[in-house]
Amino acid sequence: FHIGMFEIGKPLGKGKFGRVYLAKEKKTGFIVALKTLHKSELIHSRIEKQVRREIEIQSNLRHKNILRLFGHFHDEKRIFLILEFAGRGELYQHLRKASRFSESTAAKYIYQMANALAYLHKKHVIHRDIKPENILLGIDGEIKLSDFGWSVHAPSNRRTTLCGTLDYLPPEMVEGKEHTEKVDLWSLGVLTYEFIVGAPPFEDVSGHSATYRRIAKVDLKIPSFVSPEGKDLISRLLRHSPEQRISLEQVVKHPWILKFKA
């Protein structure tokens, strides 16, 4: 079926507030991911202001490792987002299929993530929701960071009702303290760990409060199969004190990253 100048193809996924379809712009044949958001749902969950702000933020971002928002339009019932199509889909599926990545693959992804985050932080945008579910892969296997549903302009201590996993929350957000861009460095540490080990570091099957406790205590156990350089980078990112976390400039020059950049 058609929506505006787009011919709609197969569904690509179902997000929190809408569906995403493969779509082709009829004139040029350009392939995109078209996301529909229902205005009624946005109004009902009182996030239409946030959606407007996210559209504003994302429309101004241009980086090869950040998923593009090319534009948006709406009819009386829905808002349509014209998003970049990522040729290899959700990184999350690749991780689950492989159960864990080689350190070389993980280092390539973390290097690209660090570049994407450095770009966002230079624009004083904190992502705040770094996790495998929010990362797509382009046709050449390059990282495409997405879902700025929770990014805010730094600094902020707006507590959000995060209904997703708690595994990626840094201590300062668990404790409801003021937080800065450094929250994304903590999450980068959790992501590095999960890429190499196959599960997040503070996961606790007995439930949320157990996970909270493990995060607040930075109760970190790194398996012996992780290389010394990998262990070193993870432990420099997963620091309780935000100021003690290694900076993005240091991440991209860390031995664990350099040893694979042959």
Ligand X SMILES: CC(C)CCNC(=O)Cn1cc(-c2ccc3c(-c4nc5ccccc5[nH]4)n[nH]c3c2)cn1
Name the one range near ligand X by CB under 6 A: 145-153, 174-182, 195-203, 240-248. Answer: 145-153
Residues 6+ apart with CB under 8 A from 205: none
How many residues contact ligand X, by CB under 6 A? 21
Given the residues 75, 129, 140, 219, select the one marked as catalytic: 129
Cβ proximity to ligand X, 20 vs 116, nearer residue: 20
Cβ proximity to ligand X, 55 vs 220, nearer residue: 55
Asked if residue 135 lies in contact with residue 95, where contact means CB atoms within 8 angstroms, the answer is: no
Q: How far apart are CA 214 and CA 224, in angstroms?
A: 20
User: How many Cα atoms occupy the beta-carbon half-sphere of 151 within 13 Å?
Assistant: 25
> Does 23 contact ligand X by CB under 6 A?
no
Q: Pick from 36, 58, 65, 192 the residue near ligand X by CB under 6 A.
A: 58
Q: Is 129 a catalytic residue?
A: yes
Q: Are strands 143-145 and 18-25 parallel, antiparallel or unpaired?
A: unpaired
State the Rg of the chain over Cα. Answer: 19
Q: Taking Cα atoms as reference points, which of 83, 148, 142, 70 lies closest to residue 113?
A: 142
Q: Which residue has the tokens 């439930």?
A: 207
Cβ proximity to ligand X, 13 vs 223, nearer residue: 13
> Does 85 contact ligand X by CB under 6 A?
yes
Task: List interacting residues with ligand X (CB under 6 A).
Answer: 12-13, 15, 20, 33, 35, 51, 54-55, 58, 81, 83-86, 89, 136, 146-149
Q: Which residues are catalytic?
A: 129
